Amino acid sequence: MWTWNLTVEHSVLAHLESLLSGDEWRRIRQFRAGQDARRFVVRRGMVRGILGRYLDLPPQQVSFSHNDFGKPFLSPGLSLDLQFNVSHSFERAALAVGAGAPLGIDIELLRTYPTGAPTASSYLTPPELERLSRAGETARDRIRFQAWTRLEAVAKAEGVGLHNLPRDLTRPGPAFHRSQAVDPGHFPSDDRFRVSDLSMPSGFVGALAAQPAIRKTILLSVF
């Protein structure tokens, strides 16, 4: 797992801009806010650079495809084994890289839980709801966001949006999820994902979902 700050010096930003494709630049021009465009440049440029190391390719030669739900993956012909997933929250990004099987990562900046966000009872397990009822306000925000990252990580490992996850989704414990098939052509009905909370830089929480299990996670902080 790699993590980095999306605020960079101008020279670094200029270098990362040079790595992007024409399609990526067309996407950048659609952003209304300058900070959103800058975050996209740094996020995608870093993803290209890191994946290029694994593939032994220049970053400019790393190319992507997307499934029907928008999840990116390496274009056919680059690698059949390398798997990755990326997440960002405000000025922090994280990239998970693995081998052989789909994975998903989600990170969140710890902050006051947003008004209008999904209610805790819609995505917390009974043990988590019990912890929530006993916790102070700061701890309650951490419990909500940590649980949310677990669910998001599973959805991203499945390759679907949260609203497409099965309604009978069950998690026997806070670190396990039995996946249901969404597209049997890509995710067999007996897929199993192990979900682990991540040790993130101060002020952030995160979760990683992978199958059949997460044997080891190495955190590399770039800047």
**Which of the four pLDDT bands, split at 50, 70 and 90, describes residue 180?**
very low
Question: What mean pLDDT do residues 164-191 have?
Answer: 39
Q: Is the pLDDT of residue 121 over 90?
A: no
Listed residue (75, 73, 52, 71) closest to 63, CA to CA: 75
Question: Interior CA angle at 35 toward 46 and 44, to 5°?
Answer: 20
Q: Is the pLDDT of residue 4 over 90?
A: yes
Average pLDDT, stretch 65-80? 88
Confidence band for 88, pLDDT divided at 50, 70 and 90: very high
The CATH architecture one would assign to domain 2-221 is Alpha-Beta Complex (3.90)
Q: Which of 36-50, 164-178, 207-221 has the lowest mean pLDDT?
A: 164-178
Which residues have C-beta within 8 Å of that of residue 4, sequence separation ≥ 6?
A: 42, 46, 92, 93, 221, 222, 223
pLDDT of residue 211: 79
- Give the model's pLDDT for residue 39: 97
E-assigned strand segments in the chain: 2-5, 64-66, 72-74, 82-89, 92-99, 103-109, 176-178, 192-197, 204-210, 220-221
From its phi and psi, is residue 203 left (phi > 0), alpha (psi between -120 and 50) or beta?
left
pLDDT confidence bin for 198, thresholds 50/70/90? very high
Q: Is the pLDDT of residue 24 over 60?
A: yes
Average pLDDT for residues 172-183, to the nearest whole number?
34
Structure-token pair, residue 198 = 């991540």
Unique residue bearing structure tokens 């839980």: 113
Report CA-CA distances (Å) from 61 to 9, 28, 54, 55, 73: 24, 19, 12, 10, 14
pTM, to two decimals: 0.84
Residue range 166-180: mean pLDDT, rounded: 39
Answer whether residue 84 shows pLDDT above 70.
yes
Cα–Cα dist 50/117, whole Å: 33
Domain spans, the chain: 2-221
CB atoms closer than 10 angstroms to residue 96: 26
